[in-house]
Structure formats: C-alpha cells, structure tokens
C-alpha cells in the first residue's frame, strides 16, 4: 500500500470556453492533511471539483489508491469514498438537520457512534436536529456541511474554505472538529485562506498559481519562510492570520 492516496498528473480542466487548470500535479499522502493554497482565482476550487468528478478534465490522470478514477462521474467518485465539503456548503435548506444527515449517510441509517461524535463536536446540531437547515446560522450551516462528510467513514475528504466568513469563535470549534477527524486518521485535502488554521492543521502544503501547483512541501517549511510565502503568493501568509 503506497503512502500516496490521491495523485493528479498533468490535469487540465476547462470551464466552458476557458482553460482553467493547466497541468496540475499533486500528491496527497494517506492519513495526513494537505493544504491547497494560492492567490484568489489560482484554481483551488476547480481542482477539488475536478477530483470530485464535477468538472471532468480533458487531459491527465487522477488515481485513488493507484486506481484510475479520472473518467468517473461524481456519484461514482462518492462511492469510492470521497466526500466534498463545498464552499457553498451544499446543504438542503428546506430539509431538517436530521434529513440532511440521513441523506449524506451512504450506507443506510447514520451510525450511532459517529452521530454522537458529531454531536460532541457540534452541539448545535443536536439542539436543532429537527429544525430546518435553512434557518441555521452561517457557522451552524458550515458545521452541518462538515458533519455530512463525517457521518460516513471516507477515504478522502475534500474541504473547500471551511472558515470562510465565520467568526473566530466558530472557527475554533470547526478547527477542533477537523483536528479530531485528523486524529482519527482521515486523509484531508483542504483549501484554506486562514493561515492560522492552515498552519495548525496542515502537514503538507501545495501552492497553486495560474492553474498549476507551483510549490509543494512540508507545511512547516512554508510557515517558517515569509520570503517563500511572499514569492509564491505575493504576500506573507501571516497577513491572513
Ligand atoms: N463558472 C465559471 N466560468 C468561468 N470562469 C470560471 C468559473 N468558475 C471559475 N472560473 C475561473 O476559474 C479560475 C479559477 O477559479 P477557482 O474558483 O478554482 O479559484 P480559487 O483558487 O479557488 O480562488 P478563490 O480563492 O477566489 O475561490 C478563476 O480565474 C475563475 O474566475
């Protein structure tokens, strides 16, 4: 069994008439957290959507545990154990919190132990269990979105800017839950602009620019080198802290 769970080789993706990804190479080690960083518009969200099979690439190869998954649609990618927590959270506003969790539970009714762990991490979801998801606060919606990914054990979690627009206290609740997911051995590929969170959770970093990965290495190396941050992203990551 290789230490690399997910691998992208020379991935090119178009959105409509626009060529957005220009040959992405990326390796995501098993059981660790890889942070996908880079300027706005660099192609981070497009990379997650390509992996999930929402935007099929027209060139290159994606492998999961060595098996090609490039041509699969998103339903089949989900069946392979990949979950996406999208930037827009992807929850069903008109359904209850409970119904949102039931729909996300791939293998029958939600597992009781997993549900208890989710309630411990996000007590608000227990409080509003029978409430409509659309009435939750922004932070609670983000928690529901992460909880939907956590309710079934996955091989790979793709998480797109979970802290976006959240108050600092909510970000620390979220960070705690993500740390627990990590401690349970999950493999995570996460887009995150909040550098404190990126540094606290990330084992590895991959920096994108203009539709390519331009640097990849240990998160600690990037975190310790403001000059490198500035060269790769045009500003010090500490500016985001
Ligand atoms: N539906 C679309 N139609 C046309 N261009 C798009 C579309 N969606 C994204 N793009 C373009 O693709 C490029 C990459 O976008 P993407 O959302 O992947 O970047 P990102 O690195 O996630 O940025 P951000 O941090 O701003 O979310 C950008 O130039 C964006 O304008």
3-state secondary structure the chain: CCCEEEEEEEEEEEECCEEEEEEEEEEEECCCEEEEEECCCCCHHHHHHHHCCCCCCCEEEEEECCEECCCCCHHHHHHCCEEEECCCCCCCCCCEHHHHHHHHCCCCCCCHHHHHHHHHHCHHHHHCCCCEHHHCCHHHHHHHHHHHHHCCCCCEEEEECCCCCCCHHHHHHHHHHHHHHHHCCCCEEEECCCHHHHHHHCCEEEEEECCEEEEEEEHHHHHCCHHHHHHHHCCCHHHHC
Q: Whose CA is nearest to atom 6 of ligand 1?
A: 15
Q: Which atom of ligand 1 is nearest to the CA of 49?
A: 18
In a domain, 171, yes or no: no
CA–centroid distance, 11 to ligand 1, in Å, is 16
Give mean pLDDT, residues 172-189: 89
CA–centroid distance, 55 to ligand 1, in Å, is 12
pLDDT of residue 129: 95
In a domain, 56, yes or no: yes
Average pLDDT of the chain to the nearest whole number: 91
pLDDT of residue 138: 87
Q: Whose CA is nearest to atom 12 of ligand 1?
A: 20
209-233: pLDDT as tens digits: 999 999 999 999 999 999 998 888 8
Least confidently predicted of 48-57, 127-136, 172-181: 172-181
CA–centroid distance, 47 to ligand 1, in Å, is 10
Question: The whole model's pTM is what?
Answer: 0.91
Q: Whose CA is nearest to atom 26 of ligand 1?
A: 40
Number of structural domains found in the chain: 1
Top pLDDT among 177 and 31 is at 31
In a domain, 67, yes or no: yes
Structure-token pair, residue 86:
């999208």
Distance from C-alpha of 179 to C-alpha of 181, rounded to nearest angstrom = 5
In a domain, 107, yes or no: no
In a domain, 118, yes or no: no
pLDDT of residue 186: 92
pLDDT of residue 2: 65
In a domain, 95, yes or no: no
Does the pLDDT value for residue 10 go beyond 90? yes
CA–centroid distance, 230 to ligand 1, in Å, is 22
Does the pLDDT value for residue 143 go beyond 80? yes
Does the pLDDT value for residue 103 go beyond 60? yes
Structure-token pair, residue 29:
């080690």
Q: Which atom of ligand 1 is nearest to the CA of 47?
A: 18
Q: What is the ipTM of this complex?
A: 0.93
CA–centroid distance, 48 to ligand 1, in Å, is 11
CATH number of the domain residue 34 falls in: 3.40.50.300
In a domain, 20, yes or no: yes
Does the pLDDT value for residue 239 go beyond 60? no
pLDDT of residue 235: 59
Q: Whose CA is nearest to atom 18 of ligand 1?
A: 43
146-170: pLDDT as tens digits: 999 889 889 999 999 988 888 888 8
Which of 15, 16, 160, 234 to mutate for ligand 1's pocket (most ligand atoms within 8 Å of CB)? Answer: 15
Distance from C-alpha of 73 to C-alpha of 193, rounded to nearest angstrom = 28
Collect all residues with Cβ–Cβ distance below 8 Å to 65 and sequence separation of at least 6.
1, 2, 5, 155
Q: Which atom of ligand 1 is nearest to the CA of 43?
A: 18
Instruction: State the residue range of the domain holding 232.
Output: 1-81+156-161+189-241
Cα Dmax for the chain: 50
In a domain, 114, yes or no: no
Question: What residues line ligand 1, using a CB cutoff of 6 Å?
Answer: 15-16, 18, 20, 38, 40-46
Distance from C-alpha of 13 to C-alpha of 48, rounded to nearest angstrom = 11
């Amino acid at each position: 069994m290789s230490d690399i769970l997910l691998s992208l080789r020379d991935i090119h993706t178009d959105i409509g008439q626009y060529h957005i990804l220009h040959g992405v190479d990326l390796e995501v080690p098993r059981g660790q957290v890889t942070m996908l960083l880079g300027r706005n518009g660099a192609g981070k969200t497009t990379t997650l959507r390509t992996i999930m099979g929402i935007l099929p690439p027209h060139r290159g190869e994606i492998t999961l545990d060595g098996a090609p998954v490039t041509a699969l649609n998103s339903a089949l990618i989900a069946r392979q154990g990949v979950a996406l927590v999208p930037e827009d959270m992807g929850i069903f506003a008109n359904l209850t919190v409970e119904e949102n969790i039931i729909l996300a539970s791939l293998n029958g009714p939600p597992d009781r132990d997993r549900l208890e762990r989710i309630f411990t991490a996000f007590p608000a979801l227990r409080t509003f269990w029978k409430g409509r998801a659309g009435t939750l606060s922004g932070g609670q919606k983000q928690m529901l979105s992460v909880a939907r990914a956590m309710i079934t054990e996955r091989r790979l979690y793709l998480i797109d800017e979970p802290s976006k627009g959240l108050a600092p206290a909510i970000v620390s609740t979220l960070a705690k839950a993500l740390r627990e997911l990590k401690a349970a051995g999950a493999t995570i590929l996460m887009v995150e602009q909040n550098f404190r969170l990126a540094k606290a959770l990330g084992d590895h970093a991959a920096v994108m620019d203009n539709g390519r990965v331009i640097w990849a290495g240990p998160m600690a190396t990037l975190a310790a080198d403001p000059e490198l941050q500035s060269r790769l992203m045009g500003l010090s990551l500490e500016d985001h802290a």
